[in-house]
Structure 1
């Protein structure tokens, strides 16, 4: 396998790269041991790059009580390219279930880690406490996300969690591409995404995130983290933003998507 590409850039992409380079490294094995968090609470923020740099400097400071956040590092690389394809019914059941706040809701996607070529089939469920529960299985070479083993995985997981099978008809709906760095401390992770590009796979339209915004998600077992409190202190409040739903709100303005419209405008208007 060839060496992973080096990710570089200015604005938000440059900010997350600089923050990761300044932090001590942590391996993927250590991340999974200390903060895998397949069941977690996520909080999303749209953070100006300058504010993000101040936040990252505080969290990765070696003098931080409890030890500094460290940057996920694989083969010397700390900023990684992600490609995801979301699957939905012809009528966008997953999108509308989230829009209506249904308790039994889910997202289905293929995630590709472009620097390594690894592919994962993922099902994200909403837990009883409002937490996110992620189930995943690898996609082998030549495999397709909707082939028989993955359909069986979907049916089994949804039946066990919610008591119903997966929708009979699913097809690609939206793809997302972005660059991510991940900062990790015991029991919590912060994903920092930049350069987000979203494509409507059924209509062909494309939207790009504001190049000066970092999409930050704090992930923990439930409590407000130090990162949450620091962002609040800088006047940055949580945003009603998920990549799939906000992308559809921007890509298809006629959809009833008021829940995400404000955040989608903030993220995509300048892009």
Structure 2
């Protein structure tokens, strides 16, 4: 596939967007890339097209972010530090999901992972949210990502594979699945990726990597509303 550089992708950042997610088996990847290759360019950072990512998620001691997602709260937040290992860039990010189904991401560059948030990081979170919740590290995640950029419309597609989660003591991995996310300015079903996934009979699935990791590592958490989804993911794997 024709490459696109990190600098050229800046105009496709889509920090305020509509997300559509899918879970599929790793065996679909070669056919998927071949079928949509003419419609997308692939992000290439220093010759690397399969980029490793590391993420540290923060939540309150009573897991408020997790509980809000589990209980279907429409306006909710997630807090994380993510490192893009191919470039070395590291960001503190606040993701907000609103009741219109839109995702807005705000972030600042930081030097490194902070297990104890610095004063400037706390100030950024307070500036974005209007308050500062008590946040502690809850979950590490890692995965490798292929990023595709649509040639003709404002759309990016991320394909995350080799997912692994850790809470410091225990590690769980999902090596046989891909979480695909189509990120668009507007909900456009004529996306080549969405159309091809539909032809493969792969249905949309709202899935959060944070919540998925939490239920795999912390079985004491309430997860009744996620059980059917977790069963479907395990069946795909």
Q: TM-score, normalised by structure 1?
A: 0.80
Alignment map for 1:33-48 (pairs within 5 Å): 33=11, 35-48=12-25
Question: Is 1:139–1:145's contact at 8 Å kept on the other side of the alignment?
Answer: no
Give the alignment partner of residue 9 of structure 2, picking from 14, 31, 34.
31
Give the alignment partner of residue 92 of structure 1, picking from 46, 63, 87.
63
**Aligned equivalents of 1:133, 1:177: Cα separation in 2:** 22
**Aligned equivalents of 2:228, 2:67: Cα separation in 1:** 17
Task: Show structure 2 runs of 5+ residues with no match.
Answer: none
Moved over 6 A (4+): 142-145
Match of 1:260 in 2: 226
**CA-CA distance at 1:74 after TM superposition:** 1.2
**1:82 is paired with a residue of what secondary structure?**
strand
Q: Report the structure, 1 or 2, having the larger strand content.
A: 2
Match of 1:79 in 2: 50
Match of 1:212 in 2: 176
Alignment map for 1:122-201 (pairs within 5 Å): 122-140=93-111, 146-159=117-130, 165-167=131-133, 169-185=134-150, 186-201=153-168
Q: 1:53 to 1:145 in 2, by over 3 A?
A: farther
**2:164 is paired with a residue of what secondary structure?**
strand
Match of 1:51 in 2: 28
Q: 1:259 to 1:143 in 2, by over 3 A?
A: closer
Question: Is 1:99–1:259's contact at 8 Å kept on the other side of the alignment?
Answer: yes
**Aligned equivalents of 1:47, 1:103: Cα separation in 2:** 26
**CA-CA distance at 1:93 after TM superposition:** 0.5
Alignment map for 1:99-110 (pairs within 5 Å): 99-110=70-81
Residue range with higher mean Cα deviation, 253-262 or 39-48? 253-262
User: Across the two proteins, how many residue pairs are aligned to each other?
Assistant: 233
Residue range with higher mean Cα deviation, 223-232 or 255-264? 255-264
**CA-CA distance at 1:190 after TM superposition:** 0.8
**Aligned equivalents of 1:142, 1:83: Cα separation in 2:** 10
Task: Show structure 1 runs of 5+ residues with no match.
Answer: 1-22, 62-67, 160-164
**1:248 is paired with a residue of what secondary structure?**
helix
Q: 1:145 to 1:104 in 2, by over 3 A?
A: farther
Q: TM-score, normalised by structure 2?
A: 0.90
**Aligned equivalents of 1:32, 1:259: Cα separation in 2:** 37
